[in-house]
Amino acid sequence: MGEGDLNILDDLVEKVPNDVDMLSAMHGIQRIEKIYDLKIDDLAQGVLHGVQYNIQLTYRDLIAMGNSMYQQSDYQTAAKWYRVACKRELENADQLLIEILGDPSEHLHRQYIKSLFKYGSTISEPTKSIEEAFIMVQASQEEMDNIMSDLRDPHSDVEVEKELYQVKRRSSNFELGCRGLYRQKTNLVCRYKSTANTFLRLAPLKLEEISLDPFIAMYHEVLYDSEIHELKGQSMNMVNGYASERNGTEIRDTVARYDWWSNTSLVRERINQRIIDMTEFNFSKDEKLQITNYGVGTYFQPHFDYSSDGFETPNITTLGDRLASILFYASEVPQGGATVFPEINVTVFPQKGSMLYWFNLHDDGRPDIRSKHSVCPVINGDRWTLTKWVPMFPQMFSFPCKSKLTQL
């Protein structure tokens, strides 16, 4: 093997997933399970939110998920993962993998019983099977085998499953929106927008009303494949965004990767001009846009785009706060990745080439708390978006203060 081959191997090793990648992937699976209220039995079989995929979690995956939840002191969920792993056991075990990585089942049974014990101690009336597990935490291997035999008994397993899924946490309104459980709004229409300027009179655009109060609209077929190709080419130096700062040794919660499209580009200027034509906002065609990519399991928790809770928007003293948000969808997302407005029970699913548009402030500059929004975890595929925030001060003549904002 020559030096060139060794260099190629070094490059490959650098691309191999590391411990942080593994933790991020597990956190993404945990997020999908909780927010979409999925059964772990289904997740293990590759059934995600009602869709069967041609892939399953491996025996090692199941144990790794159980260990992760156990380390987070979520013993209820840890027991669910261990339970499924115990039913899978070492089917088609690869001896070479065991020699290299070790036997994942070495402590599985004891961890399962410890999880049942710790979870059972938090509920008032545990089942007989869980009660029996209480005394087995320090059991001998023979005793452990006996209790595992009892737990595998179909009747006992049904009782344990019932116990593990009986106590459920209360779902947030954001989570209900991600699951598509909001009631459908009525009295909304789709129409052609042709009144703003000469350009739209010649080439009217498709506008879908999402909400009338507050006003939220989606323009369809306003971002083209050639433009999407260029914007993705501008995103070679994307960095991770985080939900919160690192706390000690805790792994931060990655929400997305983003980059700023700031290079001079005719395509970027054309997109900015299109926004101006559609919305009548006043800003320069040269202004930068934010490119964002959400991978599987990544999300953005409910938040405001205007200044709040210690967050201050850039250039707020010279340009004002963020009056409105413009969001282009640059990819199809087979599952997940919806934009949710939990204060008004609105869910918008990504549609490639469309542009979502809403106001963050009232016309007098007061924050509109109804603009709180979030991004649901991506289940399959990835979510590409292009974002523009419109500052308030330059719009003082385009959108003057009125008793009530006149919508487009």
* H-assigned helices in 264-324: 266-279, 316-319
Instruction: Quote the pLDDT of residue 20.
Output: 80
Burial (Cβ within 10 Å: 0-12, 13-18, ≥19) of residue 381: middle
Query: In 3D, which of 241, 190, 171 has the Cα closest to residue 387?
Result: 241
What is the model's pLDDT at position 268? 92
pLDDT at 164: 84
Lookup: tokens for 203: 């080439």
User: Peptide bond preceding 377: is omega within 30 degrees of 0, i.e. cis?
Assistant: no
Where does residue 112 rank: exposed (0-12), middle (13-18), buried (19+ CB within 10 A)? buried
Q: Single out the residue of 304, 310, 302, 268 nearest to residue 285, CA to CA.
A: 268
In this structure, CATH architecture of domain 173-395: Sandwich (2.60)
- Residue ranges of domains in the chain: 38-166, 173-395
pLDDT given for residue 1 in this prediction: 60
Per-position DSSP letters for 206-234, written without gaps between them: EEEEEEETTEEEEEES-S-HHHHHHHHHT
Q: Centre a 10 Å sphere on the Cβ of residue 281 and count the other Cβ atoms it contains.
A: 20
Residue 300: predicted pLDDT: 92
Specify the pLDDT at position 256.
80
Q: In the prediction, which pLDDT does 190 show?
A: 92
Q: Tell me which residues of the chain have a pLDDT lower than 50.
A: 245-251, 405-408
* Secondary structure of residue 46 in the 3-state scheme: coil
Neighbour count for residue 212 (Cβ, 10 Å): 13
Please state whether 19 falls in left (phi above 0), alpha (psi between -120 and 50) or beta.
Answer: alpha
CA distances from 116 to 110, 112, 163, 197 (A): 10, 6, 10, 66
Quote the Cα angle for 350-352-356, to 5°: 55
Give the per-residue pLDDT at 371.
97
* Model confidence pLDDT, tens digit, residues 292-339: 999 999 999 999 999 876 677 778 888 889 999 999 999 999 999 999
The pLDDT, as a whole number, for residue 336 is 96
Alpha-carbon gap, residue 344 to 10, rounded angstroms: 52
